Structure 1
Amino acid sequence: MAPVPKVQLSGGLEICRILNGMWQVSGAHGPIDSAKAAKAMDAYVNAGLTSFDMADIYGPAEEIFGSFYSQLKSRQGAEAAAGVQGLTKWVPRPGPMTRKVAEHAVDQSLRRMCVECLDCLQFHWWDYSDKRYLDALGHLSDLQQEGKIKELALTNFDTQRLEEITSKGIHISSNQVQYSLIDRRPGVKMAKFCQSEGIQLLTYGTLGGGLISERYLGTGEPTGRGQLNTASLSKYHNMIKLWGGWGLFQELLSTLSSLAQTRGCSIANVATSYVLDQPAVAGVIVGCRLGVPGAEHIADTLGTFQVRLSPADIDGIESVLGRSKDLMLTVGDCGNEYRN
């Protein structure tokens, strides 16, 4: 098996170019057995997919990681455990952002994840009109200098706020944003700024919660909670409607399917490869239904690294994308969907 490609963030943390997303253990995608979920993480690490993305608000995600991490360390030693990366998020409610508040949040994640230093803490803020996000980031930067955080990062911040934060002297390693064939907003202006500042993008929603797959090729549009039965399916179905609708989406899937068939790979491989090739993108986060029988897609995920899209392939894809609506006009810059 070829090694999984990795990339280094500015603080030195090396992560896989495809990360294992743990939003799916939050409860919004169906029930999860925490013990089975922790055990299922072994298969991903054994395949070389050693980077896990989670958040303090993803239900038991941090505790599941901590259980897995401590068991791995006990079985195979500290060196084996050091080969696994745990990226988490702090998503506070609006309120005073004192040093005590920030340190409590960091300490809570350290405790849950059973680590001595957070590999990467990605900060999210709901309301830009409340400028206390700058206070919070200032304290997090101090905690980083004290050794509690390796990489200080953001999630769902727009380009304007990213410029503001960096102008205050706060060093940011990455920004996690939605990026897919459906949602290409990060490529409009954020990627250029990130490249100029040495900031990298970690992307989610790249497979549209599973909608960008063979399963939905040639099907009628899903409706209702019975067919859109996870938070991801509902969220990204709404994005497809804003982008151009189910008919145009079917044209896109058909184009991706043709490319996939000529390469002996999947639609997901082609869609992921497209985003991985975009400027400033360090890695793509692919959601994992950990511990759910039949829900693992490790082999298919690894197939992405065998795909190389030619300029003609990209032209064919973008001929469809060019007929979609401009999400920068209808939604705004990255993260605005959480604040409108």
Structure 2
Amino acid sequence: MSGVLESGALESGALESEALESATAELAPGVVIPLVGLGTWPMTGEEAADAVDRAIGNGYRHIDTAENYGNEEAVGEGIRRSGIARGDLFLTTKFNRQWHGRTGVHEAFGAATRRLGTEYLDLFLVHWPNPAQGRFVEAAEGLIELTQEGLIRCWGVSNFKPAHLRELQAAGLETPINQVQIDPETRQPDQLAFHREHGIFTAAYSPLGRSGRFLSNPAVTGPAEVYGKMPAQVVLRWQVQSGRAAIPKSADDRRQRENLDVFGFALTGAEMAGIDALDTGAPPRLDSDEFGH
């Protein structure tokens, strides 16, 4: 992946041009994903449409939604209100287990694009593996067909554990991206190591966590004071500097702008390690071997 750094890659005190990398990464040839996107769950209706419209006005070029969020129509409305050219926006959505299978994925695509009001998707994800159903490999094969047909620019998965990803590999499928829960207290180092080993790009959902406890930890507040940033900006900087995309949700103009403003400074190796050390070893909130929709 171009333009991203691994955690700990910076020397202490370094603010070199290499560290202040591009705000994008390349998922596939010609497919560039902005590293900070707007998460839209659990917003629906007018709240979601308004938040998307304002986010685009505030500079966002990556919007993330899903069938299960129940807000694809509202997200599409927000995009239309913004007046942005479709080609200037990176749009991600995800589909539910009822569509797993090659034919079902094509149906899911048609339904998603109708709700969103677009002819194509930049990224289409299997939302949960649902291993008991046993059809996520077929779902991935259907996504590859959509890519070959030019209907989606890139495919990927969400909430897939290494065991699920190995099943895709056994079928000859190399996964471009996996969207998973990553925050300083739920760092999932084994998951991330598997991604690095196999060239799978990571997108972090709930990148600022739910409780916000770690935002008051000195490992976060210390760098925030040094760089004149908010604690949330430091954590988002940690995410993108670790080589991940981050998808924070916000409907507030100030926070939306702050969440994008994480590319003008770089954390030192010691600061990155300090945030890494906040990991509690806790698993994701939901076990993807048992939960799914």
Deviation at 1:199, TM superposition (A): 1.9
- Please list, as runs of the form range in 1=range in 2, the aligned pairs for 1:28-177 lying within 5 A after superposition: 33-34=45-46, 37-60=48-71, 62-72=72-82, 75=83, 80-93=85-98, 97-177=100-180
Is 1:306 the equivalent of 2:268? no
Distance in 2 (alpha carbons) for counterparts of 1:286 and 1:298: 9
CA contact (8 A) 1:23 1:287 kept: yes
Is 1:276 the equivalent of 2:227? no
Q: Which moved more, 1:265-274 or 1:140-149?
A: 140-149
Distance in 1 (alpha carbons) for counterparts of 2:51 and 2:142: 35
- Please list, as runs of the form range in 1=range in 2, the aligned pairs for 1:191-270 lying within 5 A after superposition: 191-209=192-210, 211-212=212-213, 217=216, 253-270=217-234
Change in Cα spacing, 1:206 to 1:40, as seen in structure 2 (3 Å) is: closer
Q: Deviations over 1:251-295 (max 9, x none)?
A: xx23311221121111111112222222xx331111123xxxx56
Deviation at 1:334, TM superposition (A): 9.6
Change in Cα spacing, 1:144 to 1:256, as seen in structure 2 (3 Å) is: same
Change in Cα spacing, 1:53 to 1:209, as seen in structure 2 (3 Å) is: same
Distance in 2 (alpha carbons) for counterparts of 1:40 and 1:191: 31
Q: What TM-score results when the alignment is normalised by the length of structure 1?
A: 0.71
Please tell me the residue identity of whatever aligns with 2:231.
I
Deviation at 1:64, TM superposition (A): 1.7
Is 1:7 the equivalent of 2:25? yes
Change in Cα spacing, 1:213 to 1:303, as seen in structure 2 (3 Å) is: farther
Distance in 2 (alpha carbons) for counterparts of 1:126 and 1:197: 18
Deviation at 1:54, TM superposition (A): 0.6
Distance in 1 (alpha carbons) for counterparts of 2:27 and 2:151: 17
Change in Cα spacing, 1:68 to 1:25, as seen in structure 2 (3 Å) is: same
Q: What TM-score results when the alignment is normalised by the length of structure 2?
A: 0.81
Which residue in 1 is equivalent to 2:14?
A: none
Distance in 2 (alpha carbons) for counterparts of 1:70 and 1:270: 32
- What is the alpha-carbon root mean square deviation over aligned residues? 2.8
Which residue in 1 is equivalent to 2:5?
A: none
Deviation at 1:337, TM superposition (A): 5.8
Change in Cα spacing, 1:203 to 1:133, as seen in structure 2 (3 Å) is: same
Distance in 1 (alpha carbons) for counterparts of 2:127 and 2:185: 23
CA contact (8 A) 1:152 1:171 kept: no
Deviation at 1:297, TM superposition (A): 0.9
Change in Cα spacing, 1:197 to 1:10, as seen in structure 2 (3 Å) is: farther
Kindly, what percent of the aligned residue pairs are identical? 24
Change in Cα spacing, 1:131 to 1:90, as seen in structure 2 (3 Å) is: same
Give the secondary-structure state (helix, strand or coil) at the position aligned to 2:248: strand
Distance in 1 (alpha carbons) for counterparts of 2:289 and 2:81: 36
Please tell me the residue identity of whatever aligns with 2:73.
E
Please tell me the residue identity of whatever aligns with 2:192.
A
Q: Higher helix share goes to which structure?
A: 1
Change in Cα spacing, 1:275 to 1:334, as seen in structure 2 (3 Å) is: farther
Distance in 2 (alpha carbons) for counterparts of 1:49 and 1:338: 33
Distance in 1 (alpha carbons) for counterparts of 2:182 and 2:286: 11
Change in Cα spacing, 1:150 to 1:335, as seen in structure 2 (3 Å) is: farther
Give the secondary-structure state (helix, strand or coil) at the position aligned to 1:309: coil
CA contact (8 A) 1:212 1:271 kept: no
Which residue in 2 is equivalent to 1:244?
A: none
Higher RCO, Cα 8 Å, sep 6+: 2
Q: Deviations over 1:204-244 (max 9, x none)?
A: 12211361576xx4xxxxxxxxxxxxxxxxxxxxxxxxxxx
CA contact (8 A) 2:123 2:156 kept: yes
Gaps of 5+ in 1: 27-32, 218-252
Deviation at 1:165, TM superposition (A): 0.4
Deviation at 1:66, TM superposition (A): 1.6
Q: Which moved more, 1:262-271 or 1:3-12?
A: 3-12
Please tell me the residue identity of whatever aligns with 1:46.
G
Give the secondary-structure state (helix, strand or coil) at the position aligned to 2:37: strand
Deviation at 1:100, TM superposition (A): 3.4
